[in-house]
Amino acid sequence: MAKKTATAISHPNIALIKYWGNLDHGFRIPANSSLSMTLGGLETRTTVSFDPDLDRDEFELDDHKAEPLAFDRVVSHLDKIRAIAGIQIRASVQSHNSFPAGTGIASSASGFSALTIAACAAANLSLPPKQLSIIARQGSGSAARSILGGFVELYSGPTSDDSYAVQVAPPEHWDLLDLIAVISSTHKEKGSSYGHDIAHTSPLQAARVEDTPRRMDVCRSAILEGDFPALAQIVELDSNMMHAVMQTSTPPLIYLDPASIDLMKKIEIWRHEGLQVCYTLDAGPNVHCICTRSSAPEVLNRLREITQVLHIYESKPGEGAVLR
Ligand code: DP6
């Protein structure tokens, strides 16, 4: 095979119903289904070249040679794609994020989604979205959802082939905004992969997983009906349930900062004052403020007045991953 290059763009996503814990760690089969909004405006752009002249894989992230753990994770993902394509050629991978990695804005989701799309194209594999999401999921669970745009559901197992993403509604279905209040932009100490590994040590995890089909139904209906009060209630409940599991794992994982909790309390008050806004937090201290278009200007004004909010990203429902 001659040298072949492909570039893909993918957006991160914010989980409205969270994935936390795995049925199978090797294949990253999630313990529960999840539902997210793909985040337009923020992006990872990844170029993959399979090059017969290379004797080992290369991976640069934001123009720097990747650290060993990230490198190994990318190589094992490339190995999966090489095995499917029946090739052994090494690759060079260049990836750029338009937002800081490791801060609760899921860079692994857009990263492994873009890597999957670019590497499959560069390996001459033409696969349907279902297969692409199954492959992306094995790089990072939440990456399966970033393959698709708008509002996206990821099925849990039981097997790897059953755990893929489907679109619940396209981006234009609901003009929601995610105003991401960045409270810290330092790299988190314990990443999600570690948290998934120890989720089962929390006595609350089994109850959270068992209740997931109900929360998924409520969230999916709220989206399809455009019912903001119902969405707000289930999204905050789900985020708080995941953080309760994190905090009661052994060892405990506390991702929330005092400023995160202050903002969560403020958002609840703002909603009682009539603003259509709710909060959700991933494995980091940053607060994703999900709001309607009509409430967004006032939410933005209020966020700008909070000194602990270092930066605000504005994101609307985005498209799925594409080749460029
Ligand atoms: C809290 O997909 O980042 O953001 O598969 O280990 O890469 P890995 O985990 P990841 O986990 C996401 C956890 C979460 C919730 C979610 O996005 O569903």
Separation CA 231–CA 228 (nearest Å): 5
Beta bridge partners of 178: 290, 315
270 contacts: CB under 8 Å, gap ≥ 6: 277, 299, 302
**Residue whose CB lies within 8 A of the most ligand 1 atoms, among 19, 34, 44, 113, for a mutation test:** 19
246 burial via Cβ count (<10 Å: 0-12, 13-18, 19+): buried
Separation CA 199–CA 66 (nearest Å): 28
The residue type found at 154 is: L
* CB-CB contact of 17 with 216 (8 Å): yes
The length of the chain in residues reads 324
Atom number, ligand 1, closest to the C-alpha of residue 30: 5
**Residue whose CB lies within 8 A of the most ligand 1 atoms, among 32, 80, 108, 142, for a mutation test:** 142
Separation CA 3–CA 49 (nearest Å): 7
pLDDT digits (tens, 9 = 90+) for 2-46: 889 999 999 999 999 999 999 999 999 999 999 999 999 999 999
Atom number, ligand 1, closest to the C-alpha of residue 154: 18
Average pLDDT over residues 174-199: 89
Distances (CA, A) of 11 to 41, 105, 161, 207: 7, 10, 23, 31
**Residue whose CB lies within 8 A of the most ligand 1 atoms, among 10, 156, 196, 286, for a mutation test:** 196
pLDDT digits (tens, 9 = 90+) for 251-288: 999 999 999 999 999 999 999 999 999 999 999 999 99
Separation CA 143–CA 46 (nearest Å): 14
3-state SS class at 42: coil
Higher pLDDT, 186 or 245: 245
- Residue 99's pLDDT is 82
Look up residue 308 and give its DSSP letter.
Answer: T
272 φ, ψ to 5°? -65, -25
22 burial via Cβ count (<10 Å: 0-12, 13-18, 19+): buried
Q: Examine the pLDDT at 106 and tell me if it is beyond 70.
A: no
Distance from residue 142's CA to the centre of ligand 1 (Å): 5
- Ligand 1 binding site (Cβ under 6 Å of any ligand atom): 15, 18-20, 28, 34, 106, 108-109, 140-142, 192-193, 196, 282-283
